[in-house]
Every structure is written in structure tokens, then in C-alpha cells.
Structure 1
């Protein structure tokens, strides 16, 4: 039996932030993470040409003050997203895309130097890797007297006075058994709560040089007609690695990777010319194929539906279980800022 004062389920940004803040208050904390990888929906790939490409959380803006304060406190630098040059807006496949330029007066987006994973690495350093157990998928949470017993898929049991879940609520109620059961109203709410990133397909294409910039293109695209729905320049802060990155049409998950890749490159050639064909590597991440992140909905759930719902603010199982994570945040739910806000909200109750 493994004993701890507080167990946090999930080693994404929210869970790590929670552990960091609770440790600062003097609590003994252990994080149980189902994946072999730490970071949750933050995943940075480093390409062969040095480009750092985000398959999960990426950008933030000035209103995300909790995230900015954390980065500045950790001395993690960030930089303005490149937007200079001509951008594209595509309404129909048989109509040439509209061209426009993004004004400097518009609110800037920012990215973390070296990739979003730098924030995860710093939090792990602060918390201590010895306090994070990976490859530990929780299957049961049982109330036993004045504590909770948590069992993982290997049958290993952990006990704690308090348990905090940072899993997407829908994933939580669909994959973990509770004894006694959670109230029916919270189960139904969780099943109707949108999982951020769940339906997303993110892609990145590495290049040896930023040929689009050299031709006065920003690398930005917004499309209602093609496989790429949204795209941005994703070159590094020091301009040592170059890539285009964005979101694909979610319905294309039924295609093979090769089919998606072919369509992406053809769309880039159509936009930027034959130089787009000379890429180094294509990367993608289909989040709906990550069973430890996303569980298919039983009914239609809209984007951000029930994110930040007030019913998530109340603890369960006689005030021993807390449902938290980015989807439950009162501000900016579903984003990195929301993950930090959710963590702060929970820690304030301890």
C-alpha cells in the first residue's frame, strides 16, 4: 500500500501546477499518470532541422496573465508569433483564396521559446520526478472510512486523504469506477462536457528554410474548404528551425496518414508554389486516437460545452474527491491559462 496526503490524477499542466502549489504549502503529494509520457495535452516534437513543433497546447495572449506570471517567475522566455506578410482566407475550394495582412494593432499571440514542453520540464524539476508515477492508469477510486483508496490497472493500491482528478471530466467518469458511485447529476454533466483538443488533428511540416517569408507570406491560413483549416508559421524564436503548423479538418481522421499528408502538401503547393513540395518531414497528432486523453461521446457535445460549470466546484465522496483540470476552470477553460486557473482554485481550498 502506498500512502500520501494528496493524490493527483494526471501529469498534465493542471496536475503539475497543482502539485507544485501544494508542495509550496507543505503538503505531501503524489501524481499518478496513465501515460508513459508527462505533459498531457502539451507535447512538443523536435524535428531533424531543429524546429520545435507543438502537437498540443501552443499559443497564449496577454489576457492569460496567470500563465504569463508563471513563465516570468520561472524565467522561461516567450516570443511573439510571426504574422508579417500576406495571409490567406479560403471560403470555397473552387474560388481563389482571399489575401489579407494582419495588422500590428491586433492582439499578439505568443509562444514559448524552445517549445511549450519547457514549462512542463520546469514544473517536473520543481516537483521532483520521484513524486510522479507514470504508466499508472487508475481504474478504481473507493471510499474507505476517512480516506480514499485508488487502484491502478496493475492492481497496485494507493491511499490518500484527498484525491484530485485533472482528467477531462468525460474521460474520468467513463474510465474510472467509483465506490460509491458519483452522484448521477455529475455523471450526466461530465458526459456532456467537451474535452479540449479531443477532436483535433494537429499537423506540422518541416522545411529547411522559411521560403514563405522570403516571398512575403506570413504562413497563416484560415480555410473553410480544404484539409488544412488553420495554419501558422511555426519557426523557432531564433530562426534556426522552420515549419508550418496547424489544424486539419477533424473529419479526415478516417483517412490514412499518407492520404492526409498528400492532401496537405498539395494544398501548400497550391498556396505557396512548388517550393512547398521540398519539405523535410510531415508530422501529425490525432487526439481522438489517444484513449488516455479522449473518450468518444455518447451524444453530440459542442466545443467548450459545460466547460467551467459551477457543479465542478463542489468536492465529492464526503469532501475527499475533487474534479478539476482545464475543462473545469472558471476562466479560459480548455486552455493553458484555464489549466493554471483550475489548479489555483483547487489549491486555495487546502
Structure 2
């Protein structure tokens, strides 16, 4: 049985940044990640043309000072989201979409050069991959001789002084057995805490040329009537790769991937012309189908419900178990900025 100082559950942004901060304090860490990849709800795909497309966390703004500070510290460049040109707003399927332009004076959104995953890769290299173990799904956390014993599906067990969970609270309490049991009030809170991104279906369509820009369209689209509810230009920072990316109607999770793709391409062709059908590839991520991220709720949970709840500030298991993550942040919960803030808040207690 290996002895570790602090074990972190989840190699998403909050888990990795917490590990980074604890290492700076000279604390030994081990990050255990159930998935075969790191990043959590940061998931950047690279198309055959080299364009990067975000299936998870993407944007941030000037108000998100915590992530801006991290990008500055790690020397990771970012760029302004393209919004120039005509944008579209569809209210009803039988009415042509309204056209509008987004003024340059509008508060900008930013994206990380090379994709959001570059932030994850940078943190992982700073922490050291030897301190991050993938394919390690936690099954049990039990208290023993003033230590916590952490066990995973592969049969590994670790003895540690403290455990920090950074996975969604609802997923934590529904997938890990605790000995002794966690307080019932905490269990009920966790089960009623909204999991950010859980209901989202993200999609991207890769193209060889930015034909929409050539027609003076921004690529920005909002619709209350079609499968694409929200969409933006997703060209690379240097304009060498091109894609459109956004969110699909969550109710279309009942459709097949092929059915969703057909509806997306048809909608794009209706709005932007036949060039939309000449695509390189279609990509999507149905987050409710990611069991290592999303756990169905036992009852109705509203968007943002219990995110940032004050009870998440209190450690459990006699001060040895901490529940953190983007959902627990008291500032910008669910956002990348919230994940960073949650990490900073927790690391300051060590």
C-alpha cells in the first residue's frame, strides 16, 4: 500500500490546479483520474485540417480574473472571439432569422490559443505525469487509523492524510462508497447540486474555408426553433483552421448522432447557403452520456442549483476529506474561473 500525502480525485482543471498549488507549498500529491484522458470537462478535438474544436469549456471574459491570472502565470496566450459580420437570431422556424451585428464595444469573450486543452497540458507538465494516474476510478474511501484508505476499480489502494475530490458532487456521492457514511444532510445537498455541462450537447463542423466570413456572416447564431440553439465561429487564432461550433437543443439527446448531424447541416445550409454541406467532418459530445462526468439526478435539479453552497467549505471525515470542484466555487461556479477559484480557496487551507 502506497503512502501519499494528499490524493486528489479528478484531473480536470480544478484538480490539476489544486495539485499545482499544493506542490508549490511542498506538499506531495497524487491525482487519480477515472478516465483514460485528463482534462475533465475541458475536451479539445483537433480536426484533420488542424483546427481545434472545444467539446467542453471554451470561453472566458475580462471579469474572470482568476483564469486570466493563471494564463499570465503559465504564459499561455489567448485571443478574442470573432464576432464581426452579420449574426442571426431565429425565433420561429417559418420566419426568416433576424439579422444583427455585435458592436466592437461589447464586452469580449476570449479563447486560449491552441485550444483550452493547452492549459491542461501545461498544468500536467508542471505537476509531472508521474503524479497523475489515469484509468483509476475510485470505488471506496474509508477511514482507518487516522488515515483515509482510497481504493480503485483496478484493486489499487492508497493510504493518505487527506483526500480532495474535485469531481461533480452528485457524481461523487453516487459512485464512491464511504466508510463511515457521509452525513445525510451532505448527501442530500450533493444529490441536489447541478452538474455543470451535464445537459449540454456540444457540436462542431469542420470546414476547409470560412465561407461564412466570406459572405460577411460572423458565424454567430441563436435559435429558439431549430436544433442549433447557439453557435459561433471557431476558427483558429491564426486563421489557418476553420469550424463552426456551439450547442444543440438538449432534448435532441434522444436522437441518433446521424439524425442530429443531418439536422445541423440542413440548418446551416438554410442560413448560410449550400457551401455548408461541403464540410470536412462533424463532431459532437453528448455530456449526459459521459458516466465519468454526469450522474442522472434522483429528482428535478435546476440549472446552477446549490452551486457554491456554503456547506462545501466544511471538510468531512474528521477534517480529512474535502469536496471541491467548479460546482463548489462561490465565484463563477461551473466556469473555468470558478474551477480556478475553488482550487485557490482550498489550497489556501493547507
Do they fold alike, i.e. is TM over 0.5?
yes
Residue by residue over 1:175-234, the C-alpha shift from the partner in whole angstroms, topping out at 9 and shown as x without a partner, is: 000001110011000111000011110000000110100111000011111100000000
1:51-66 maps to which residues of 2 (within 5 A)?
51-66=51-66
> Structure 2: how far apart are the matches of 1:188 and 1:94?
45
Partner of 1:268: 268
| Mapping of residues 190-269 of structure 1, within 5 Å | 190-269=190-269
The RMSD of aligned alpha carbons is 0.6
Aligned runs of 1:1-350 on 2, under 5 Å?
Answer: 1-350=1-350
Deviation at 1:50, TM superposition (A): 1.1
CA displacement at 1:169 relative to structure 2: 0.2
SS class of match (1:318): coil
- Mapped to 1, the partners of 2:157 and 2:125 lie a distance apart of 26
Give 3-state SS (helix, strand or coil) of 1:311's partner.
helix
1:98-126 deviation per Cα after TM superposition (whole angstroms, max 9, x unaligned) = 11000111100000000000000100010
Aligned mates of 1:231, 1:51 — CA distance in 2: 16
**Partners of 1:154 and 1:46 in 2: how far apart?**
31
CA–CA separation in structure 2 for the residues paired with 1:349 and 1:69:
20
Q: CA deviation at 1:155?
A: 1.9
Q: With the length of structure 2 as denominator, give the TM-score of the two structures.
A: 0.99
Which stretches in structure 1 are left out of the alignment for 5+ residues?
none
Matched residues in 1 for 2:316 and 2:73: separation? 33
Partners of 1:187 and 1:89 lie apart in 2 by 42
Cα deviation code 1:228-247 (max 9, x no counterpart): 00000000000000000000
| TM superposition shift of 1:298 | 1.0
Aligned structure 1 segments of 4 or more residues deviating by more than 6 angstroms: none
Could you say what secondary structure the match of 2:50 adopts?
coil
Structure 2 portions without partners, runs of 5+: none
TM-aligned CA deviation for residue 145 of structure 1: 2.1
Offset from partner CA, 1:312-344 (integer Å, 9 cap, x none): 000000000000000000100001000000000
Give CA deviations for 1:52-73 in whole Å, capped at 9, x if unaligned. Answer: 0000000000011110111111
* SS of 1:295 mapped into structure 2: coil
2:178 is paired with a residue of what secondary structure?
strand
